[in-house]
Amino acid sequence: MAFSKSTLKSGGIQLKTTLPKLGLLVTRRSGWQMKKVLVDTNLILRYLLDGDELLPRLSRDNLIWFPSVVIFETVYTLLSTYGLNRLQVFDLVTKLIMRPNVECERSLLFNSLAIFRDNPKLSLVDSFLAKLSEDEGVELATYDKKLRKRVKKLT
């Protein structure tokens, strides 16, 4: 990373950092909370499959936000496009969501991924809904018999 400027402003040092490959400008002020960065599926896949360095670089100075829908898409793509099995996907994705500076529904996603790994007939969305239903203590209304059976086992 190249530091292009350092100035004193509002009682803190403002650092402007240019991320070379993308030309992104990330500004951080000392004493302020970390900037939150929303990450999309393609960035996660490049990191997991190709070792791309943008995600680790961003996570040094920023809070990385993985919405659940991005994790769902990542899992789907790893399974359907790259041919990974459920255990491989569980290992990769749980290591990802457990990284420092990551914000997500960590506990819910981890437990949903574990249910998904252990139940080949359930999708990740069904596993997520089963775990969410259990965690929230609410009934899950569905016509899906496999899902209904799984929810009964959890409660």
Q: Say whether pLDDT at 93 is over 50.
A: yes
Kindly report the number of other CB atoms within 10 A of residue 3's CB atom.
9
pTM, rounded to two decimals: 0.76
Looking at residue 22, its pLDDT comes to 41
By mean pLDDT, which of 7-11, 94-98, 129-133 is the weakest? 7-11
Strand partners, 8: 13
Q: How confident is the model at residue 155 (pLDDT cuts 50, 70, 90)?
A: low
* HSE, side-chain direction, 13 A CA sphere, residue 95: 8
Give start and end residues of each alpha helix (H) in the chain: 41-50, 54-61, 68-80, 86-97, 106-118, 124-136, 145-154
Whole-angstrom Cα distance, residue 29 to residue 14?
Answer: 5
Q: Binning pLDDT at 50, 70 and 90, where does residue 145 land?
A: confident
pLDDT at 124 exceeding the cut of 90: yes
pLDDT in tens, 17-61: 444 444 444 444 455 578 999 999 999 999 999 999 999 999 999
pLDDT higher than 50, residue 8: no
